Structure 1
Amino acid sequence: MKTWNCIIVDDEDVDRLMVVAFAKKFPQLNIIGTYKSAEDAIDILNKTSIDILFLDIDMPGFSGVELRKKAMEVPVCIFITGHAEYAVESFELETLDFIVKPLRFERFERAMQRIEQFLEIKEKATLFELSFGENAIFIKEGSEKSKINLFDILYLEALKDYTLLVTPQKKHCVWSNIGSLLKQDPFQSFTRIHRSFAIQKQFVKKIYAQEIMLSNNALLPVGRSYKESLKLLL
């Protein structure tokens, strides 16, 4: 059976022990540690590969939301909290599920079903969806593989855990966030101009203060923190 490493962080002893008790009912969960504060959990995140975070939000010191921001590389985050008002903010941090206390086993079980489905799809996509060749990538779309020349990709667009590869003919979707994709050698020719967009220099038609026009007349925004990237396009 495939197992996933998880940690549980909650400053309330009773709530933390309840999550532990429920998690132990699922043999696919390998509990690496339980912690009373987000600060206590930081060390293990730097030492061990973690697949799942079970986090309270309102804790002394820094919150579960702040911990998630420091651990965005962890694929799954489940918030378990008594504060429903944090729901919107939490889902901006790639949260898979948000559970309002008091925690019930039936609700935890539903969260586990989502986790299993998400991680199984993610693993399959990682193994089979995207592969590289010389100056090209191959994307599994249904039962067929599509070959895309890297030099034909106008831009990349982030869609949470997915990235769109936009060519003049079609938009292709791969299961990989844009940050991870840009670390791959075949994508070193791309320049990130926004949290959600990366482009290739040869397709730049015009550069404006807050936008870039590409050869297909598409207008893409330039993020404030990416202004320096414009120098690479000149």
Structure 2
Amino acid sequence: MENLKCVIVDDNEIDRLTVLSFAKKFPNLNILGTFSDSNEALNTIEKNEVDILFLDIDMPGLSGVDLRRELKDVPVCIFITSHPEFAVESFELETLDFIVKPLKFERFENTMRRITDFFEMKNKASLFESSIGGDVIYLKEGHEQIKVKLHEILYLEALKDYTLVVTSQKRHCVLSSIGLLLREVSFRSFVRIHRSFAVQKQFIDKINSHEIILNNNLAIPIGRSFKDNLKFLL
């Protein structure tokens, strides 16, 4: 299984260290950091490609639920909390699992199996290269394979667990995160400008402090953590 980047956020030190110790037992988990403060975690997550959030809910300042609302495009969120009454609300926020404390390793192991199944499903539905020339790819949409010419793709847009592959003629919805698509060799001509957007470099017409204008006059926002990706235009 691929290497998965995760972040742990819990204001209770014992609970935070418990999650950390369990996570370290899984070699495919790359732990980017552990945080007692949601705002500090948010700053780190916005600067990195994160696959999994392990979040407490009841925290001072920004709660775990609020943090998830800020980070809806992170593929997997696991809530670990002492408050089962938040379960319904949490699952409205694309939650893969909800664990009630105290956390036991057997329960965490079960969650890891769910995470593995989730990413395997996403990878099976992701893009693969076609052997028909160098400018043609196939996208899996449901049970169909749609042929798309790479040079016609304007931009990619993250939409929860899906990515919109947008051309001037059509929008293709693919069951794969924008991060996974951008790891494909076929998308090396794209630049990530926002947590939710990546554009094809050849279609960039103008750039200002907060957005990019494509050559069809479409404006796409620039995320503050991604401005360095645009230095090649300066």
Please tell me whether residue 37 in structure 1 is matched to residue 37 in structure 2.
yes
Aligned equivalents of 2:4, 2:69: Cα separation in 1: 21
| Residue 174 to residue 129, structure 1, CA distance change in 2 (3 Å) | farther
- Counterpart in 1 of 2:82? 82
Question: For residues 32-111 of structure 1, what are the structure 2 equivalents within 5 Å?
Answer: 32-111=32-111
Whether the 8 Å CA contact 2:126–2:139 is kept in 1: the answer is: no
Per the TM alignment, residue 123 of structure 1 is displaced from its structure 2 partner at its CA by 2.3
Whether the 8 Å CA contact 1:5–1:30 is kept in 2: the answer is: yes
Per the TM alignment, residue 17 of structure 1 is displaced from its structure 2 partner at its CA by 0.5
TM-score by length of 2: 0.60
Q: After TM superposition, where is structure 1 displaced by more than 4 Å over at least 4 residues in a row?
A: 136-139, 141-144, 180-185
- Counterpart in 2 of 1:191? none
Per the TM alignment, residue 80 of structure 1 is displaced from its structure 2 partner at its CA by 0.2
Spell out, residue by residue over 1:56-96, the C-alpha distance to the aligned partner (whole angstroms, 9 max, x if none).
Answer: 00001110000111111211100000100111111111111
TM-score by length of 1: 0.60
| Residue 5 to residue 55, structure 1, CA distance change in 2 (3 Å) | same
Long gaps (5+) in structure 1: 131-135, 149-158, 165-171, 186-234
Structure with bigger gyration radius: 1
Task: Report the identity percentage.
Answer: 61
Per the TM alignment, residue 145 of structure 1 is displaced from its structure 2 partner at its CA by 2.8
Per the TM alignment, residue 124 of structure 1 is displaced from its structure 2 partner at its CA by 2.7
Per the TM alignment, residue 120 of structure 1 is displaced from its structure 2 partner at its CA by 2.0
Whether the 8 Å CA contact 2:6–2:50 is kept in 1: the answer is: yes
Name which of structure 1's ranges 101-110 and 37-46 shifts more when overlaid on structure 2: 37-46
Whether the 8 Å CA contact 1:129–1:140 is kept in 2: the answer is: no
Spell out, residue by residue over 1:141-172, the C-alpha distance to the aligned partner (whole angstroms, 9 max, x if none).
Answer: 68763569xxxxxxxxxx963599xxxxxxx9
The one-letter code sitting in structure 1 at the alignment partner of 2:86 is: Y
- Counterpart in 1 of 2:207? none
Whether the 8 Å CA contact 1:129–1:141 is kept in 2: the answer is: no
The one-letter code sitting in structure 2 at the alignment partner of 1:118 is: F
Long gaps (5+) in structure 2: 131-135, 149-158, 165-171, 178-194, 201-234
Per the TM alignment, residue 43 of structure 1 is displaced from its structure 2 partner at its CA by 1.2
Whether the 8 Å CA contact 1:129–1:175 is kept in 2: the answer is: no
Per the TM alignment, residue 128 of structure 1 is displaced from its structure 2 partner at its CA by 3.7
- Counterpart in 1 of 2:192? none
* Corresponding pairs, count: 168
SS of equivalent residue, structure 1 residue 126:
coil
